[in-house]
Amino acid sequence: MTSERIGEYANDLTLYKGKLFNSDTYAYNFYCLFAKTYGFSVRRGHSYRRNKNNIEEIYKRKFICHRAGVAKQNKISEVEKQRRRKSSRCNCSAKLLISKRTFGFEEKWMVTCFENSHNHVLLDEKEIRFLPAYRDIPINDQARILLLSKVGCSVSLIMRVLEAEKGIEAGHLPFLDKDIRNFIKSQSSIDKDNDASDVLKLCKGLKDKDYAFQYDFTLDENNKSEHIIWVFGDSIRAYEAFGDVVVFDTTYRINRYDMPLGLWVGVDNHGNSIFFGCSFVRFVKGKCPQTILTDQDHALKEAVSTELPNTKHVFCIWHIATKLPTWFSFLLGTEYDDFKTEFYRLYNLECESDFEQQWDFMVERFHVTYLKEFFFAGMTTTGRSESINSYIKRFLDVGVAVNIRNQAGEEARMRQKYHNPLMKTIFPIEEHAASILTLYAFELLQHEIELSAKYAATAIDNDSYSVRHHTKLDGGRSVTWIKEKNSIYCSCKQFEFSGILCRHAIRVLLKNDYFSIPKEYLPSRWRRESSLIPQSRHIINYNDNSFVEFRSLVQCLEVESLKTKDRVEVATKELKKVIHYLKGSRAKGGVEVAKKSRHCHYPNCGGTDHDSRNCPIKRKKDSLLASQSSPNK
With respect to residue 337, please indicate whether it lies within any of the assigned structural domains. Answer: yes
Residue 537 is predicted with a pLDDT of 38
Q: Is the pLDDT of residue 615 over 90?
A: no
- Residues 166 and 172: their CA atoms lie apart, in Å, by 10
- Regarding whether 223 and 292 lie in a shared domain, the answer is yes
How many structural domains is the chain composed of? 4
- Regarding whether 308 and 446 lie in a shared domain, the answer is no
Q: Is the pLDDT of residue 127 over 70?
A: yes
H or E, element range at 343: helix 336-347
- Residues 296 and 568: their CA atoms lie apart, in Å, by 43
Domain boundary among 368, 395, 416: 416
Amino acid at 201: K
3-class state of residue 119 by DSSP: coil
- Regarding whether 410 and 352 lie in a shared domain, the answer is yes
With respect to residue 383, please indicate whether it lies within any of the assigned structural domains. Answer: yes
Region of residue 198 (left: phi > 0; alpha: psi -120 to 50; beta: else): alpha
3-class state of residue 173 by DSSP: coil
- Regarding whether 183 and 279 lie in a shared domain, the answer is no
With respect to residue 587, please indicate whether it lies within any of the assigned structural domains. Answer: no
Is residue 249 classed exposed, middle or buried when 0-12, 13-18 and 19+ CB atoms within 10 A define those classes? buried
Q: Is the pLDDT of residue 434 over 60?
A: yes
3-class state of residue 467 by DSSP: strand
The pTM of this model reads 0.50
The upper half-sphere exposure of residue 192, i.e. CA atoms within 13 Å in the direction of its Cβ, equals 14
E runs forming strands in 212-369: 214-219, 225-231, 245-249, 253-254, 259-260, 263-267, 273-277, 291-294, 312-315
- Regarding whether 316 and 446 lie in a shared domain, the answer is no
- Regarding whether 394 and 430 lie in a shared domain, the answer is no
With respect to residue 607, please indicate whether it lies within any of the assigned structural domains. Answer: no
- Regarding whether 511 and 446 lie in a shared domain, the answer is yes
With respect to residue 333, please indicate whether it lies within any of the assigned structural domains. Answer: yes
CA of 629: how far to CAs of 146, 511, 613, 626, in Å? 89, 91, 22, 5
Q: What is the pLDDT of residues 63-113, one digit of tens each?
A: 999 999 887 766 554 444 445 566 788 999 999 999 999 888 889 999 999
For residues 440 and 528, the answer to whether their CB atoms sit within 8 Å is no
CA of 613: how far to CAs of 220, 597, 601, 606, 610, in Å? 79, 15, 10, 13, 8
With respect to residue 13, please indicate whether it lies within any of the assigned structural domains. Answer: no
- Regarding whether 148 and 176 lie in a shared domain, the answer is yes
- Residues 466 and 553: their CA atoms lie apart, in Å, by 48
Amino acid at 100: K
Longest pairwise C-alpha distance within the chain: 132
For residues 28 and 15, the answer to whether their CB atoms sit within 8 Å is no
For residues 70 and 91, the answer to whether their CB atoms sit within 8 Å is yes
3-class state of residue 289 by DSSP: coil
- Regarding whether 404 and 270 lie in a shared domain, the answer is yes
- Write out the residue range of the structural domain in which residue 171 sits: 139-188
With respect to residue 632, please indicate whether it lies within any of the assigned structural domains. Answer: no
Domain boundary among 526, 559, 576: 526
Q: Is the pLDDT of residue 526 over 50?
A: yes
- Regarding whether 230 and 154 lie in a shared domain, the answer is no
Q: What is the pLDDT of residues 456-491, one digit of tens each?
A: 999 998 889 999 999 888 888 999 999 888 899 998
| Long-range contacts at 346-350 (CB < 8 A, ≥ 24 apart) | 347/317, 350/477, 350/491, 350/492, 350/493
3-class state of residue 537 by DSSP: coil
Domain boundary among 416, 431, 447: 416
pLDDT band at 255 (very low <50, low <70, confident <90, very high): very low
Q: Residues with Cβ < 8 Å from 169, sequence gap 6 or more? A: 163
- Residues 251 and 554: their CA atoms lie apart, in Å, by 39
- Residues 480 and 487: their CA atoms lie apart, in Å, by 8
- Regarding whether 424 and 408 lie in a shared domain, the answer is no
First CA to last CA distance, the chain: 103
H or E, element range at 341: helix 336-347
Q: What is the pLDDT of residues 539-554, one digit of tens each?
A: 444 445 565 567 667 7
With respect to residue 309, please indicate whether it lies within any of the assigned structural domains. Answer: yes
- Helix intervals (H) in 136-249: 139-150, 155-166, 177-188, 192-209, 233-242
- Residue 393: phi and psi, rounded to 5, are -60, -15
CA-atom Rg of the chain in angstroms: 38
Q: What is the pLDDT of residues 207-236, one digit of tens each?
A: 887 777 788 887 777 777 777 777 777 777
- Regarding whether 391 and 434 lie in a shared domain, the answer is no
